[in-house]
């Protein structure tokens, strides 16, 4: 048969096996046929093998491979596999979308996404994975087809071969450029918060502290570890009531930002004032997740504002005091002068004597008020001397002990090697007297007042915490009492003029204001420490002077009123005051040329038949002041001495209230004795 011939020929040529597959129903069959010779006869030998299970397994494998490829292509992450030389074997759609190359462009090519500067790094990574190491979440920069660089996260695993050796590498790449950008923004924001001058505090929704920045640590004294997890109430000072906090939380609960000032307490227990904004923070769903507070310490700022207000008050009172002092002291001079003259002429038993003495007392009280106003406003005319503070205080201890009374013990604690100061001794006594009176009045019944002195070097750190202070060397005069003490609100106002805690009629409110003005006029500053029930301490910081010779004491006055017979040119534009002064001079024995103004005085000097021995002139006059008049008269009679008199000098003979060198000054109102001593000092020097 033709078919048999064909088979015989085929089998003879192939020599062994023919394999064919036929489908019989749902079975896959493999047929193996062979030519067989048996007993000189030729025949067929055929074996049929059922391959159905194998075909189904192959189909499942193909389907699984397709699913795997689909899964890889569907992955949002770029996936590629490489051979050990770095050539691309697979490249999914996300890799194409991420880097721009299509699969057919990179198939069999060296991985194109590695920038040239990173080739060595890529070789090292490839070697590590080829040695069986797994890499996870490694951040690096990779190149896109258009040349731009993106940030990616790389994870790579070795692919094992049939022999168990690594045959390739599979890599998963995720674009983290946006995430890195957000991280950079977060890092930048965190850096800004870490370096911000304002304190930043963040809590969770329940109010537990999660973060504070270094400024918070500096402001409060607490470290970050000490407050994390704590409630912000650890800062409460107790100076805000429940209504304050209730109003704050109502604002925050309404989703609004709260702004305000609050007094808090540092770790060391000291209080400070901060300006604060608290904002609720919500996520995208609107859920409250945290609160953030931004704080600024305004304690120093408030103190400076207080100083500014104090300076403005001083300026206003200074203008008032200056205007009052000139005219009012002129009036008081007339009243005091006529009273003194009347007392000198009246019989000791005359009933009018007591009335005149009451007038003297009232004048003295009025003079003291004006003097205190000028001291507070730093417009008091002074003559500074180099003083040994210990010596000056010691010389007044008996007087000071009498001043505070028998029930109060006075303790004196002088410091060793106290630096000299430059100050008007009258001002020092005035300040110390006011402090002692204030200390005495603060003590109910028995108590102790301590005066101490010491030197201190004030540094910039102290100045930062004490507005108004200036760095340098200071001699400190401190007065401490065991009295009732003061609360912070009272302490903040004690130097205000006319502020007093004493009952009406028992204090003018100018005592401590005067001390403040004296210290400031001498370029010093005051520190005050006080607590209710714990007494008070006032520390007057007076600048150290480099001068060597201290002033030993006041110029001794003669007993009685020293007289004279010299010629005095009296210049006073107030007629009533000129009349009183003329009578004083005549009573002292002097010859008098009285002039109602500068022009008349110049005319008297030109026509005088004998040399003028001394000029007694008002300082503030219309047309020409006393200094200018003296200069004009010195041209007529060179070397003529001059005594200036005034209730307020207006800086004519003093700078900022400090008398110029060699200026003889008589403060109005003056007594007969004071006038006599001033003239003798001018004439006898």
- CATH number, domain at 286? 3.30.450.20
652 band by pLDDT with thresholds 50, 70 and 90:
low
Residue 671 lies in a domain: yes
Structural domain harbouring 396: 385-543
What does the alpha-carbon distance between residue 461 and residue 262 come to, in Å, rounded to a whole number?
A: 24
User: Is the alpha carbon torsion for 457, 534, 433, 452 positive or negative?
Assistant: negative
CATH number at residue 475: 3.30.565.10
Same structural domain, 169 and 203? no
Residue 278 lies in a domain: yes
What does the alpha-carbon distance between residue 368 and residue 235 come to, in Å, rounded to a whole number?
A: 47
Same structural domain, 584 and 536? no
pLDDT tens digits along 354-374: 898 899 888 888 877 777 777
pLDDT tens digits along 436-477: 988 998 898 899 999 999 999 988 777 776 767 788 899 999
Residue 22 lies in a domain: yes
Does the pTM surpass 0.85? The reply is no
What proportion of the chain, given as a percentage, has pLDDT over 70?
82
Same structural domain, 205 and 176? no
CATH number at residue 659: 3.40.50.2300
User: Is the alpha carbon torsion for 544, 547, 548, 551 positive or negative?
Assistant: negative
Same structural domain, 112 and 171? yes
DSSP state of 407: T
Same structural domain, 164 and 288? no
Same structural domain, 512 and 390? yes
Same structural domain, 473 and 600? no
601 band by pLDDT with thresholds 50, 70 and 90:
very high
Q: What is the mean pLDDT of the chain?
A: 82
Same structural domain, 141 and 205? no
What does the alpha-carbon distance between residue 592 and residue 462 come to, in Å, rounded to a whole number?
A: 58
Position 1 scores a pLDDT of 46
Residue 443 lies in a domain: yes
Terminal C-alpha separation, the chain: 170
**Domain count within the chain:** 5
Which of 127, 153, 180 represents a domain boundary (last residue)?
Answer: 180
DSSP state of 39: T
pLDDT tens digits along 133-183: 998 888 888 999 999 998 898 899 998 887 778 888 989 988 888 888 777
Same structural domain, 495 and 594? no
420-448 as b/e: b if 16+ CB within 10 A: bbbbbbbbbbbbbbbbbbbbbbbbeeebb
Q: How many CA atoms lie within 13 A of 201 on its CB side?
A: 29
Average pLDDT over residues 214-222: 92
CB 36 within 8 A of CB 27: no
312-345 as b/e: b if 16+ CB within 10 A: ebbeebbeebbebbbebbbbbbbbbbbbbbebee
Same structural domain, 462 and 580? no
CB 415 within 8 A of CB 454: yes
Specify the 3-state DSSP secondary structure of 678. Answer: helix
Residue 677 lies in a domain: yes
What does the alpha-carbon distance between residue 196 and residue 215 come to, in Å, rounded to a whole number?
A: 7
Residue 303 lies in a domain: no
Residue 332 lies in a domain: no
Residue 488 lies in a domain: yes
What proportion of the chain, given as a percentage, has pLDDT over 90?
28
Average pLDDT over residues 212-233: 92
48 band by pLDDT with thresholds 50, 70 and 90:
low
Same structural domain, 430 and 535? yes
Between helix 626-636 and helix 598-607 the angle, nearest 10°, is 20
Q: DSSP for 151-201, please give it.
A: EEEEEEEEEE-TTSSEEEEEEEEEE-HHHHHHHHHHHHHHHHHHH-SSEEE
253 band by pLDDT with thresholds 50, 70 and 90:
confident
What does the alpha-carbon distance between residue 611 and residue 604 come to, in Å, rounded to a whole number?
A: 11
What does the alpha-carbon distance between residue 648 and residue 42 come to, in Å, rounded to a whole number?
A: 156
Same structural domain, 176 and 209? no
CB 129 within 8 A of CB 167: no
pLDDT for residue 63 is more than 60: no
Which of 260, 282, 297 represents a domain boundary (last residue)?
Answer: 297
């Amino acid at each position: 048969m033709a078919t048999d011939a064909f088979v015989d020929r085929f089998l003879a040529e192939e020599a062994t096996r023919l394999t064919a597959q036929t489908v019989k129903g749902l079975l896959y069959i493999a047929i193996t046929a062979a030519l067989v010779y048996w007993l000189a006869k030729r025949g067929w030998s055929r074996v049929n093998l059922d391959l159905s299970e194998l075909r189904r397994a192959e189909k499942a494998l193909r389907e699984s491979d397709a699913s795997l490829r689909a899964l890889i292509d569907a992955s949002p992450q770029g996936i590629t596999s490489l051979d050990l030389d770095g050539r691309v074997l697979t490249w999914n759609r996300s890799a194409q979308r991420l880097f721009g190359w299509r699969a057919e462009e990179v198939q069999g090519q060296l991985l194109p996404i590695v920038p040239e500067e990173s080739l060595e790094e890529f070789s090292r990574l490839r070697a590590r994975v080829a040695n069986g190491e797994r890499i996870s979440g490694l951040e690096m920069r990779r190149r896109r087809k258009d040349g731009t660089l993106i940030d990616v996260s790389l994870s790579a695993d070795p692919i094992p071969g049939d022999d168990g050796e690594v045959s390739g590498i599979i890599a998963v790449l995720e674009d983290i450029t946006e995430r890195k950008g957000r991280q950079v923004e977060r890092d930048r924001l965190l850096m800004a918060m870490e370096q911000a001058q304002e304190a930043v505090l963040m809590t969770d929704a329940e109010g537990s502290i999660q973060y504070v920045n270094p400024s918070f640590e500096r402001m409060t004294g607490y470290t970050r570890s000490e407050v994390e997890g704590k409630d912000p109430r650890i800062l409460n000072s107790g100076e805000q009531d429940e209504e304050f906090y209730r109003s704050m939380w109502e604002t925050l609960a309404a989703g609004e930002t709260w702004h305000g000032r609050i007094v808090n307490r540092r770790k060391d227990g000291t209080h400070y004032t901060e300006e604060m904004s608290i904002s609720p923070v919500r996520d995208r769903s609107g859920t409250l997740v945290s609160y953030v507070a931004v704080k600024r310490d305004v304690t120093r700022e408030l103190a400076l504002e207080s100083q500014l207000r104090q300076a403005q008050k001083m300026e206003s009172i200074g203008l008032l005091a200056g205007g009052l002092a000139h005219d009012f002291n002129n009036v008081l001079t007339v009243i005091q002068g006529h009273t003194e003259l009347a007392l000198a002429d009246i019989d000791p038993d005359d009933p009018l004597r007591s009335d005149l003495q009451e007038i003297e007392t009232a004048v003295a009280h009025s003079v003291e008020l004006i003097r205190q106003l000028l001291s507070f406003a730093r417009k008091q005319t002074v003559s500074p001397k180099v003083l040994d503070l210990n010596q000056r205080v010691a010389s007044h201890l008996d007087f000071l002990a009498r001043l505070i009374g028998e029930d109060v013990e006075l303790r004196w604690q002088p410091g060793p090697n106290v630096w000299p100061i430059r100050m008007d001794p009258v001002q020092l006594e005035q300040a110390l007297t006011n402090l002692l009176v204030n200390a005495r009045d603060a003590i109910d019944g028995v108590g102790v007042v301590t005066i101490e002195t010491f030197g201190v070097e004030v540094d910039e750190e102290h100045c930062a915490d004490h507005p108004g202070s200036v760095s340098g060397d200071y001699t400190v005069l401190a007065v401490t009492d065991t009295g009732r003490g003061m609360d912070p609100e009272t302490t903040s106002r004690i130097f205000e003029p006319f502020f007093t805690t004493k009952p009406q009629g028992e204090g003018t409110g100018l005592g401590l204001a005067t001390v403040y003005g004296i210290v400031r006029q001498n370029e010093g500053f005051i520190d005050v420490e006080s607590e209710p029930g714990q007494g008070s301490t006032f520390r007057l910081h007076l600048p150290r002077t480099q001068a060597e010779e201290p002033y030993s004491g006041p110029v001794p006055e003669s007993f009685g009123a020293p007289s004279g017979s010299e010629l005095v040119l009296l210049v006073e534009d107030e007629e009533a005051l000129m009349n009183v002064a003329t009578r004083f001079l005549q009573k002292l024995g002097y010859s008098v040329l009285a002039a109602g103004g500068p022009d008349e005085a110049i005319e008297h000097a030109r026509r005088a038949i004998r040399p003028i021995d001394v000029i007694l002139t008002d300082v503030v006059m219309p047309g020409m002041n006393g200094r200018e008049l003296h200069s004009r008269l010195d041209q007529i009679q060179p070397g003529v001495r001059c005594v200036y008199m005034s209730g307020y000098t207006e800086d004519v003979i003093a700078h900022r209230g400090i008398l110029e060198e060699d200026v003889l000054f008589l403060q109005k109102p003056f007594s007969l004795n004071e006038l006599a001593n001033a003239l003798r000092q001018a004439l006898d020097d």
